[in-house]
Amino acid sequence: MLPTDNLLLQVSRPARYTGGEWNSVVKDWAAARVRVALAFPEVYEIGMSNMAVPILYSLLNNQADVLAERVYAPWVDMQDLLQREGKPLFSLESRRSLKDFDILGFSLGYELTYTNVLNMLHLSGIPLRSGERGESDPLVIAGGGCVLNPEAMSDFIDLFVLGEGEEVLLELVNLFREWKGGTGRKSRRELLVQAAGIEGVYVPQLYHAEYHPDGRLRSFEPLAPGVRPRISRRVVSPLPPAVTNPPVPYIEAVHDRGAVEIQRGCSRGCRFCQAGIIYRPVRERTPSEVADAVEGLLRHCGYQEISLLSLSTTDYPDIEQLVSLLTRRYGDQVLSLSLPSLRMDSFSLALLDALPARRKTTLTFAPEAGSDRLRQTINKGMTEEKILSAAGAAFEKGWNSLKLYFMVGLPTETMDDVKGIIELVRRIQQQGRGSGGRRPNVKASVSPFVPKPHTPFQWAPQEGEEQLVMKEETLRTGLRRIGAQFSWQAPRMSQLEAALSRGDRRLGQVIHRAWQLGCSFDGWSERFQYDKWLQAFKENDLDLSFYAHRERSLDEALPWDHIDVGVSRAFLKKEYLKALEGRETPDCRYGECTACGLQARNPVCRQKCRETVASEP
């Protein structure tokens, strides 16, 4: 173990690095056959709010001979101190150097954490590039939403886990256990070739990309016999039992409460939403499973607030039954239930009214766009009439504060749509005044649209900075005039996010150079250094605009085409064309099968597709 106590006395928030939290697991290092460090490339308070890490932490530590520990990105003061003192980055549980572990697994959920990954590898003494690692270095793996286009990080990761990790991670651990303990141990490359045979595992060094002179992808081919040209995303069904004993943070986390995932996936089909594609199909836990998980969290963690998580909570089919069950069971206790990801409708408000110990603070909804036309284009399925009706009902029920999320720069957007945001907020305010209450507090939070892989808008360009700034000024002036609050995400951060999310493997050089220039914690406005990123692009003869602002042709080879998420390119193309025509697509859970591609591999979707075909005239 590392002597770190003297370090903790010299940094802000030392509890970020102490470990020892309630429910943390400390195993016998010598007795473990496989040692895994789960790494989240953000500060402790953000990482402890992530759902994936505790799931994998519990899953691995439930294996008798596997040890799993956690590590989060050290803040700048600890980073500088480690380098000055010549000490490596360490895990929370045993304070061992990350270089001592067999496997180092990163969770990648946001592109602007990529330089943090390099920083953590560097602080651990692990070679940054996969090809430079030796037989004694940890196997560096990564999963999470970002790895459905893994190419920008392919230089630095030995293998990617595509999709849901509950099953495939254990398969990887089993393979590693056999490889580590076998006689006549095979090479690291032979291990990676074997791993590539596991469904959902992508090993980038086993593939080669070629590019056209104009920078577009020409070809992407396997380099070894038997390596699959396309890698399928892993999907877990049914959902395993929820984790009820996660480590409880010593300091306040961003989401300082217990959380139970009540369903995974969403079939609404919002065309900008990557999560709605990459987590299909929808799978639910039963109300009794959820209630048991809530009971476990209260018993093991002592939380007074539990969040029932889903991409669209009101689409959970038994939500009324679940709320009623939990209210009956805990109505006489100091327990607050929260329902994030609600739709702006009367049903959601009725649910909120039924919750026990619910304080009427701030309601959060996402209209996303300022006009019915544009909401129809993005397939949001929410009219202004419904929005105003829900807002009026909320004010009448005693809610006096609304936070509304919008995007600007969406495909087909005009300045009339942008001004429509101001007008919509004004009409919502009028609903509050009309209900007889005091003047409502309405806040509009606006972000630039970021086109994402595996969505119908993956071909769409992102608007340039000049246009976005003009729209920001329009919104800032208009919303100030009507007395509404306004917050805005800097377009330059969104541009970098777009470039990295749709990037190819040449961007590895850019990320490496940006890190060398001092970039880290790029998602923090006070740390973001746009000029250094532009320098990194320029030094590598690449252009950020090529990745962020260029519209792709529908027949162009895309850097992520070798990743099969289950939803077909043909479906995404059809949805993009429908968006440009302003046509909506109904939710397939309540209507006909839309033939998105999942019918080829999912039994429920396959049956739905058969029923749809049979009903056609």
Task: Encode 78-127 in three state secondary structure.
Answer: HHHHHHHHCCCCECCCCCCEHHHCCEEEEECCCHHHHHHHHHHHHHHCCC
> Is there a shared CATH topology between the 5-231 domain and the 360-506+542-565 domain?
no
Q: Of 383, 384, 389, 391, whose CA–CA distance to 365 is shortest?
A: 391
Q: Which residues pair with 341 in a beta bridge?
A: none
DSSP 370: S
User: Rounded distance, CA 610 to CA 599, Å?
Assistant: 9
Residue 238: asked if its preceding bond is cis (omega within 30°), the reply is yes
Tens of pLDDT, residue by residue over 130-155, are 999 999 999 999 999 999 999 999 99
pTM for this entry: 0.95
Which pLDDT score is estimated for 184? 60
HEC secondary structure over 411-459: CCCCHHHHHHHHHHHHHHHHHHHHCCCCCCEEEEEEEECCCCCCCCCCC
For the domain made up of 360-506+542-565, the CATH class stated in words is alpha beta
pLDDT at 436 over 70: no
* Bridging pattern class, strands 485-488 and 159-161: unpaired
Q: How much is the pLDDT for 234?
A: 96
Distances (CA, A) of 265 to 204, 275, 277, 311: 27, 8, 8, 7
- Phi and psi angles of residue 469, each rounded to the nearest 5 degrees, phi first: -65, -40
What the block records as the tokens of 460 is 């769409």
Q: How far is residue 11's CA from residue 101's CA, in Å, rounded to a whole number?
A: 25
Lowest mean pLDDT among 245-259, 324-338, 443-457: 324-338
Q: Give the model's confidence band at 216: pLDDT under 50 very low, under 70 low, under 90 confident, else very high.
A: very high
Residue identified by tokens 């064309």 is: 577
**DSSP 8-class letter at 408:** E
Listed in sequence order, the residues at least 6 apart from 156 whose beta carbon sits closer than 8 Å to its beta carbon are: 117, 118, 121, 128, 129, 130, 140, 508, 511
| Cβ contact 283:238 at 8 Å | yes
Q: How confident is the model at residue 2 (pLDDT cuts 50, 70, 90)?
A: low
The answer to whether 40 and 72 have CB atoms below 8 angstroms apart is: yes
Q: Is the pLDDT of residue 422 over 90?
A: yes
Residue 359 confidence class, pLDDT cut points 50, 70, 90: low
Q: Which long-range contacts (CB under 8 A, 24 or more apart) does 379-384 make?
A: 379/268, 379/269, 379/270, 379/271, 379/575, 379/579, 379/584, 379/585, 380/270, 381/268, 381/584, 381/587, 382/343, 382/344, 384/424, 384/427
CA distance 455 to 468: 22
Q: What average pLDDT does this structure show over 250-263? A: 91
Q: Where are the domains of the chain?
A: 5-231, 360-506+542-565
Residue for token pair 């290092």: 29
Give the alpha-carbon dihedral of 554, 555, 561, 562, to 10 degrees: 170
- Asked if 515 and 429 count as a contact pair (C-beta separation under 8 A), the reply is no
What number is the average pLDDT over the span 319-342? 84
pLDDT of residue 439: 76
Nearest partner of 225 among 206, 209, 208, 210, judged by Cα: 206
Count Cβ atoms within 10 A of the Cβ of residue 129 and give its class: 0-12 exposed, 13-18 middle, 19 or more buried: middle
Q: What is the pLDDT of residues 542-564, one digit of tens each?
A: 999 999 999 999 999 999 999 99
Task: Return d(Cα 186, Cα 135) in angstroms, integer.
Answer: 10
Residue 605 pLDDT greater than 70, yes or no: yes
CA atoms within 13 A on the CB side of 496: 29
**Cα torsion at 5, 9, 15, 17 (round to 10°)?**
-50
Q: Letter for the amino acid at 546?
A: F
> Which residues, listed in sequence order, are joined to residue 374 by a DSSP beta bridge?
none
Across the range 42-50, mean pLDDT stands at 96
User: Taking residues 323-344, what's their average pLDDT?
Assistant: 82
Contact 254, 110 (CB under 8 A): no
What's the CATH code, domain 5-231? Answer: 3.40.50.280
Evaluate whether 563 touches 231 at the Cβ level (below 8 Å).
yes
pLDDT score of 360: 62
The pLDDT tens digits of the residues spanning 570-603 come to: 999 999 999 999 999 999 988 889 999 998 888 8
Please report the pLDDT score of residue 350 as a whole number: 80
